[in-house]
């Protein structure tokens, strides 16, 4: 399928019997993702978000719009690991399978703050909270993959900010020692730092669990609520007019993560060195265009450093550890 011709309404396959979870499903690209998936007959979609009133309204609106009653709300504050664990346990207690996991929620350029456990807020929400959720749900994802004809996908929403020039990232790319300080860098540098963490985390997860499809995406410059909550300072003010000129709708922004969750996994045709389909561990830009890793995103030592740090930090807060690792 030509990537530029991908249309979710036509090209997402039937999802009968499958269970889906979308973080940040009440707004922006997450809401558009839930809407698109709901038209393809899944068993259930967990719409996750921090504010109960917001997720209930979004779910009610989407049920009415799509005529799909299997959208259920799940309160989850990614800035609180206790909240993440509670939400994950609800899924584990109620489901025997989980087929699609969209790690979609995020914040961008926010004012200096710490999460409940004391992590820099953008890094804590965009990376640490999602890492805890993944660790908690991993046994269910792996057991689902053993079901005949199962095709389990994990899709992380990152950004091209992960490929930012050195001046827009901490020295060396990662500064994990500073992630207990709310103002270690400028808000936009901290955003790029958190999005780099999404990429490095996806690379390691894909390498350790090859039975799963794990991809990470840049959705494009999407006109969504995330940019209305920032406090990114002078750099953000300079970039905003450029972003406004490039904005796409939330439905357009959702296409690449829907592409990664839908099209066949990669195969390499005989006589070619170019695989077709979704490559686990890869980064994609709109729509489904492979972006090679370069600079800090390509450094294996950073992949391993982040994984070790994350594993140790999750263990401090009751994380169960990585299944089979």
What would the mean pLDDT of 84-88 be, rounded to a whole number? 98
Pairing of strands 100-103, 19-23: parallel
Domain interval for residue 190: 3-316
Within-domain flag for 322 = no
What pTM was computed for the model? Answer: 0.93
H or E segment to which residue 230 belongs: none
Residue 242 lies in a domain: yes
Check whether 66 has a pLDDT greater than 70: yes
274 or 37, higher pLDDT: 37
Give CA–CA dist 129/116, Å, rounded: 11
The pLDDT of 136-153, averaged and rounded, is: 97
SS3 267: strand
Residues 6 or more apart whose CB falls under 8 angstroms from that of 242 comprise none
pLDDT(7) > 90: yes
Residue 194 is predicted with a pLDDT of 98
* Nearest in space to 286 (alpha carbons), one of 247, 260, 325, 256: 256
DSSP state for residue 108 in the 8-state scheme: -
Distance, CA of 194 to CA of 198 (rounded, Å): 7
Question: pLDDT-based confidence at 271, cuts 50/70/90?
Answer: low
Q: How many domains does the chain fold into?
A: 1
Residue 194 inside a domain? The answer is: yes
- What band does 247 get if pLDDT is binned at 50, 70 and 90? confident
User: Which tokens in the block code for residue 129?
Assistant: 């909270």
In a domain, 324, yes or no: no
Strand partners, 215: 155
Mean pLDDT of 104-126: 97
Catalytic residues: 158, 191, 195
The dihedral through the CA atoms of 11, 152, 46, 4 has a sign that is negative
Residue 321 within any structural domain of the chain = no
What is the widest separation between alpha-carbon atoms in the chain? 55
Sheet with 100-103, edge to edge strand ranges:
71-75, 44-49, 19-23, 100-103, 153-157, 213-217, 283-285, 289-290
Helix (H) or strand (E) holding 303: helix 300-316
Q: What is the CATH number of the domain that holds 7?
A: 3.40.50.720
| pLDDT tens-digit readout, 301-320 | 999 999 999 999 999 999 99
Residue 223 pLDDT > 80: no
The reply to whether 273 falls in a domain is yes
Decide: residue 269, CB within 10 A, 0-12 exposed, 13-18 middle, 19+ buried: exposed
Q: What's the 3-state SS for 77-103?
A: CCCCHHHHHHHHHHHHHHCCCCCEEEE
In a domain, 325, yes or no: no
Quick one: pLDDT at residue 221? 87
Averaged over 195-212, what is the pLDDT?
A: 98
Confirm whether 220 is domain-assigned.
Answer: yes
Do 288 and 3 contact (CB within 8 A), yes or no? yes
């Amino acid at each position: 399928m030509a990537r530029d011709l991908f249309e979710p309404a036509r090209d997402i396959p039937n999802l009968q019997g499958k269970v889906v979870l979308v973080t940040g499903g009440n707004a922006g690209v997450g809401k558009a993702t839930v809407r698109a998936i709901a038209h393809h007959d899944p068993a259930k979609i967990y719409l996750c978000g921090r504010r109960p009133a917001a997720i209930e309204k979004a779910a009610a609106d989407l049920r009415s719009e799509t005529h799909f009653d299997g959208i259920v709300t799940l309160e989850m504050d990614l800035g609180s690991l206790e909240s993440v664990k509670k939400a994950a346990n609800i899924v584990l207690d109620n489901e025997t399978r989980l087929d699609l996991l969209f790690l979609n929620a995020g914040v961008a350029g926010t004012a200096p703050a710490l999460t409940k456990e004391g992590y820099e807020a953008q890094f804590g929400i965009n990376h640490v909270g999602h890492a805890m959720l993944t660790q908690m749900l991993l046994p269910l994802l792996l057991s689902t993959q053993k079901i005949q004809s199962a095709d389990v996908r994990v899709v992380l929403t990152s950004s091209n900010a992960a490929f930012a020039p050195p001046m827009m990232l901490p020295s060396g790319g990662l500064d994990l020692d500073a992630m207990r300080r709310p103002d270690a860098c400028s808000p936009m540098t901290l955003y790029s730092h958190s999005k780099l963490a999404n990429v490095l985390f996806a690379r390691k997860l894909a390498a350790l669990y090859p039975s799963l499809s794990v991809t990470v995406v840049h959705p494009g410059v999407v006109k969504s609520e995330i940019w209305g909550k920032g406090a990114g300072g002078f750099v953000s003010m300079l970039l905003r007019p450029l972003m406004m000129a490039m904005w796409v709708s939330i439905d357009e922004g959702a296409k690449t993560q829907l592409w990664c969750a839908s099209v066949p996994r990669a195969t390499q045709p005989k006589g070619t060195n170019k695989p077709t389909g979704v490559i686990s561990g890869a980064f994609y830009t709109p729509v489904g265009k492979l972006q090679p890793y370069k600079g800090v995103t390509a450094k294996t030592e950073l992949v391993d450093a982040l994984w070790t740090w994350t594993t140790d930090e999750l263990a401090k807060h009751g994380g169960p550890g990585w299944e089979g690792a």
